Amino acid sequence: MRSAARAPTSPRPVCLRGGSGASAPTVRTVHLNLEVHMKRRAVGAEEARANLPALLEDAHRGKATVITRRGVPYAVLVPVEQAREHKRLPFLSLKGTGAGLWGKRAGATVAKMRDEWE
């Protein structure tokens, strides 16, 4: 398998799909930093499709694989332990991101909007 020159150096969101049967898959975003003591390589999407069993075995052994399409990183196949290690950001970390969105008195703004709909 060929190796790309470089994998992304900044944390990138990775979607992990789960679910089974007729239900829609659930999607969870996990931020992974591939520079953290991981053996990794990059393969093209077609090569990944053709060699999926080998890539899964590599992931089981602790080796991450960046899957690219035309040289652009699209996904990362990582060991389950690596994905579980990363914690979700706490909800409070979003505190203040909507500052000023509803004005100084959010309750009054929402009440006014409700009155407009009645």
Residue in this structure with the two tokens 């950001």, named with its chain if needed: 89
The Cα 86–Cα 45 span in angstroms is: 25
Q: What is the pLDDT of residue 59?
A: 92
Confidence (pTM): 0.44
Q: Are strands 39-44 and 63-69 parallel, antiparallel or unpaired?
A: parallel
Q: What is the pLDDT of residue 68?
A: 94
What kind and span of H or E run contains 99? none
What domains are defined for the chain? 1-87 (3.40.1620.10)
Residues with pLDDT less than 50, the chain: 1, 3-29, 31, 34-38
